[in-house]
Amino acid sequence: MAAFGRARIPVTVVDYGAGNLVSIEQALVAAGADVRRAAHAAEIGDPALLVVPGVGASAPAMERLHAGGFVPAILDWVAADQPFLGICLGLQLLFERSDEDGAQTLGILRGHTVRLESAPTLPHIGWNQVERRHEHPAFDGIAPGADFYFVHSYAGAPVDRDVILAETEHGARFTAAVARGNLLGVQFHPERSGDDGLRLVANVVGAAGAA
């Protein structure tokens, strides 16, 4: 729970019909957030942090983001370097295009989403080690190589290697997290990754609240 006497930090979760939102909302609440669910861009409000969750394929997700008026809102938000957290598909959509279905995605990061190469099993489902390339406040208090929960078959392949915050190996190394300014994207599901996942969410919410 949030510390007594401290205001909860406003966080908006983009709801574009991507299934289970309960888990991420509960993880945010546990991190001290006051969570709002936006089914349309007009409902985003003025949060400290914008969260785009999601699983599944890019094309239907982009259709629903367009239908909700979210695309220009997200582009403006990130262009202004406002705190942003993309989870799983919410990270993949930051790239230019998805190899999964050819969908044109947000184009915030250069590169596209590629199928995991030489994966022994696919989808890549389960807990795997996240290896940071450099330190980042989101991982404060989390051991190097800590396990997080993944469920995906594709991952973003950034052209600009500097944005890669962490990598994970499943047959080959892939991008597990990206960071650029106040933008953070994670391929794993912190809301399903036990204590370390909750810590990461709390770090992100805390940083957004302090900004």
Partner 1 sequence: MLRRRVIPCLDVANGRVVKGMRFVDLMDEGDPPELAERYAREGADELVYLDISAAPEGRGTLLDIVERTARRAFIPLTVGGGVRSVDDMRDVLRAGADKVGLNTRAVEDPELVRRCAARFGSQAVVVAIDARRVPPTDAMPSGFEVVVKGGREPVGLDALVWAQRVVELGAGELLVTSIDRDGTKSGFDTEQLRAIADLVQVPVIASGGAAGPDDFIAAVRDGGADAVLAASIFHRREWSIAAVKAAMAAAGLPVRLVPEASARAAMTTEGA
Q: Is 100 exposed, middle or buried (0-12, 13-18, 19+ CB in 10 A)?
A: middle
- Sketch the per residue contact string, 93 through 122, with partner 1: x for CB under 8 A, - otherwise: --------------------------xxxx
Residues with a catalytic annotation lie at: 88, 189, 191
How far apart CA 211 and CA 200 sit, in angstroms, is 17
Q: How many positions of this chain bind partner 1 (CB under 8 A)?
A: 39
| 202 near partner 1, judged by CB under 8 A | no
Q: Which of 124, 130, 166, 178 binds partner 1 (CB under 8 A)?
A: 124
| 2 near partner 1, judged by CB under 8 A | no
Q: Which of 11, 152, 156, 179 binds partner 1 (CB under 8 A)?
A: 152
Segment contacting partner 1 (CB under 8 A): 13-21, 41-49, 69-77, 159-167? 13-21
- Cβ atoms of 53 and 14 closer than 8 Å: yes
Nearer to partner 1, 32 or 77 (CB): 32
Nearer to partner 1, 79 or 143 (CB): 143
| 195 near partner 1, judged by CB under 8 A | yes
Q: Which of 193, 204, 206, 207 binds partner 1 (CB under 8 A)?
A: 193
- Cβ atoms of 31 and 199 closer than 8 Å: no
HSE toward the beta carbon, residue 206, CA cutoff 13 A: 15
- Cβ atoms of 138 and 205 closer than 8 Å: no
HSE toward the beta carbon, residue 122, CA cutoff 13 A: 11
Could you give the C-alpha distances from 10 to 5, 16, 70, 84, 141, in angstroms and in order? 15, 19, 18, 13, 23
Q: Give the nearest distance from C-beta 112 to partner 1 in angstroms.
A: 19
DSSP category for residue 151: E
Which residues of this protein are in contact with partner 1, per CB under 8 A?
1, 19-23, 26-27, 29-30, 55-57, 119-129, 147, 149, 151-153, 169-170, 189, 191-195, 197-198
